[in-house]
Amino acid sequence: MRRHWIMIALAGAMAVGAYAQQAQEITFYSNEGYSGARFTVTGPRTILDLPFTPRSAMLQGGGSWELCPQRSYDGGCWTITQSERSFRYPQVRSIRPASTGGTYDNWREIARLDVRDRADRDTAYVRTNDLFREVKVCAERNTVRIRRAEVQLGNGYWQRMFVPLALTPGNCSDAIDLMGNARRIRAVRFEYESWTAGIARGTVTVKALPYVERQPR
């Protein structure tokens, strides 16, 4: 087993930008694929009472939205940065525009591993005290077959990352929410192999989305 030590400096100011103007809006739909009954929100709502359980959501006017399962932006919130044809957050009780300054779109590479032609196991250790809310796995140079992927959180728990069996070069998995919303990452580990022997080895990168605590206005 190879072990990779990743030293990353995630420093610098992470300023929270101004809230989007009224042109920014999000529309929830009762069915997947932006169909059925709709409900549009154009600004922050400390109390949101949707008349249905949302199954898809369309963003307009740019920017991102912070969605919370409890009133007054409480309960461990999520941020969506693009329209979602199949909505994964069944309960939304409060909502507000997120920063438009790029904070929530700033994916950071926290690990890079070269993949051999044969089946292999690798662990990459991440040294940073920064908090993250989501991760995704990407492939470079060659298609990579991933048998198992896990991320170790700050409390030592290994969370399973469900990613496609095969990742082609230049593509990434869907974003994976970290349990607990805001988490430190200690390590990632994989069981994988390059798809095609004799061609350039594949490379797996892990990217994480920083968590930014937002103060109630």
Range of the domain at 55: 25-97
Give the DSSP H or E segment for 171: none
Q: Does residue 21 surpass a pLDDT of 50? A: no
Structural domain contains residue 216: no
Structural domain contains residue 215: no
Structural domain contains residue 74: yes
**Judgement on whether residues 203 and 165 belong to the same structural domain of the protein:** yes
Q: Which of 40, 74, 97 is the last residue of a domain?
A: 97
**Judgement on whether residues 113 and 8 belong to the same structural domain of the protein:** yes
pLDDT for 198:
59
**Judgement on whether residues 93 and 111 belong to the same structural domain of the protein:** no
**Judgement on whether residues 49 and 139 belong to the same structural domain of the protein:** no
**Judgement on whether residues 124 and 203 belong to the same structural domain of the protein:** yes
> 26-62: string of b/e by CB count within 10 Å (b at 16+)?
bbbbbeeebeeeebebbebbeebeeeeebbbbbbeee
**pTM across the whole model:** 0.53
Please write the tens of the pLDDT for every residue from 93-149. 888 887 543 344 478 889 999 888 778 899 999 988 889 988 999 998 889 999 999
Structural domain contains residue 56: yes
**Judgement on whether residues 89 and 110 belong to the same structural domain of the protein:** no
**Judgement on whether residues 115 and 206 belong to the same structural domain of the protein:** yes
Domain count of the fold of the chain: 2
Please write the tens of the pLDDT for every residue from 146-205. 999 999 999 999 999 999 999 888 888 988 989 886 789 999 999 998 876 556 678 899
